[in-house]
Amino acid sequence: MKKSYYCKRLNETIDFDAQKIFFCCATRTGPSINAKENVSSVKKIITAREHIIKQLDRGEVPIECVGCYDLVEQQKSKYSGLNFYKRIPKPNTIIVKHFKQCNSSCIYCAEQYISKRKIVLKPQKSDYYDLLPIIKMLYTKNLIDKKNLTVLFQGGDISVLEEFEDLVNVFVDNSVKKIEIATNGIIYLPIIEKICKKTFVDMDISIDCGCRESYKKIKTVDKFDDLVKNLKRYSKLPIQLRLKYILVRNCNDNIEEVSKYIELMKEIGIKISELTIDQCDPEFLEKKIFKIPPHYYELYDFWEKKCKDYNIYPSLWSYLKEILDRGEFFR
């Protein structure tokens, strides 16, 4: 029987990045098109996405998908792949990261190479393109799965993106199901108070430490106190608030700092913690393979136990769990 391939992410996602538009999630280098050449036409964007989905369905794997663990091989039959769906599903996940400006310059940041670590203090337009007209057009032409839509704001930092509030309003006016916002939390976003009554809001804030001195070292800006003040306000809202800690080797990868961070969470009353690993570790970038240092396992055990003692949920991304079990990650 003939083979065909299927990818859940490809069926769901459009990821608006600065130079490219990807058709799967933000963490991988999946199939994409050049943003500059295609942003003027939503039809071109949707056609390119459908072309890749059809290609997989025919059993052809585009080079960007080779080896991806999300790719599912199946026997082609009248009950599988596009035959099952009858028509290509509309995207139900939009990732917003078409801008790179930020009011911080974290030493580990995966995006900063493109903004050349310039710190931006006031909201401004993306250096690449405006997303608002594209999103409006996707709704007008009925090209997205409006009812089931999740929107992920990444970046750069949305607190210095001029069109952020307009984008949020368009999504909320169209009954978006869920909005996920990753921000450094340095600038308080009043719009969250307005939208949290209308849609499910998930906020993911990376603090990466538990005190002002370490914060300055990692984030390179002296904004720890501002962030703590904002966290106290966010923690009172009906939103899902996660406080993240990225382990950066020889910087914050020690029990004392992780402990201070969890104490701070307890003091503020934040209930979800995420401990993750720097994906831009110099060893990884250089050798394309990163062996998890043995003391990371001790840190994970400590973190999990302390979180549980304080009734904080220790959230572990499933992909990271696989990496920890395997002992390494690689490109």
Ligand X SMILES: C[S@@+](CC[C@H](N)C(=O)[O-])C[C@H]1O[C@@H](n2cnc3c(N)ncnc32)[C@H](O)[C@@H]1O
- Interface residues with ligand X (CB under 6 A)? 102, 108-111, 154-155, 157, 182-184, 204, 206, 244, 246, 276, 278-280
Nearer to ligand SF4, 112 or 150 (CB): 112
Does 148 participate in binding ligand SF4 (rule CB under 6 A)?
A: no
Tokens of 100: 């790179």
Nearer to ligand SF4, 184 or 230 (CB): 184
Does 105 participate in binding ligand SF4 (rule CB under 6 A)?
A: yes
Does 180 participate in binding ligand SF4 (rule CB under 6 A)?
A: no
Nearer to ligand X, 31 or 155 (CB): 155
Of ligand SF4, ligand X, none, which one sits near residue 112, judging by CB under 5 to 8 A according to partner kind?
Answer: ligand SF4
Of ligand X, ligand SF4, none, which one sits near residue 276, judging by CB under 5 to 8 A according to partner kind?
Answer: ligand X
Residues 97 and 26: beta-carbon distance below 8 Å = yes
Does 18 participate in binding ligand SF4 (rule CB under 6 A)?
A: no
Nearer to ligand SF4, 207 or 239 (CB): 207
Near ligand SF4 in 183-212, by CB under 6 A = 184
Q: Quick one: which segment of 102-110, 129-137, 254-262, 263-271 binds ligand SF4 (CB under 6 A)?
A: 102-110
- Measure the CA–CA gap between 151 and 94, rounded to whole angstroms: 5
Does 278 participate in binding ligand SF4 (rule CB under 6 A)?
A: no
Return all residues near 205 (Cβ < 8 A) that are at least 6 apart: 182, 183, 184, 185, 227, 231, 234, 241, 242, 243, 244
Does 109 participate in binding ligand SF4 (rule CB under 6 A)?
A: yes
Closest CA to 240 of 304, 320, 191, 178: 178
Interface with ligand SF4 (CB under 6 A), residue from 18, 156, 227, 284: 156
Does 112 participate in binding ligand SF4 (rule CB under 6 A)?
A: yes
Residue whose entry in the numeric block shows the structure tokens 């949020």: 168
- Measure the CA–CA gap between 59 and 71, rounded to whole angstroms: 11
Of ligand X, ligand SF4, none, which one sits near residue 280, judging by CB under 5 to 8 A according to partner kind?
Answer: ligand X
Sheet of 13-17, strand order: 32-34, 20-22, 13-17, 93-97, 150-153, 178-183, 200-206, 240-247, 272-277, 313-315
- Measure the CA–CA gap between 157 and 104, rounded to whole angstroms: 8
Instruction: Find the shortest distance in angstroms from Cβ 191 to ligand SF4.
Output: 18
Tokens of 2: 């003939």
Instruction: Find the shortest distance in angstroms from Cβ 331 to ligand SF4.
Output: 20
Measured CA to CA in angstroms, residue 51 lies from 46, 92, 114, 128, 297 at distances of 9, 18, 29, 25, 43
Instruction: Find the shortest distance in angstroms from Cβ 97 to ligand SF4.
Output: 9
Strand partners, 22: 15, 32
Nearer to ligand SF4, 5 or 224 (CB): 224
Residues 182 and 125: beta-carbon distance below 8 Å = no
Interface positions with ligand SF4 (CB under 6 A)? 102, 104-106, 109, 111-112, 155-157, 184
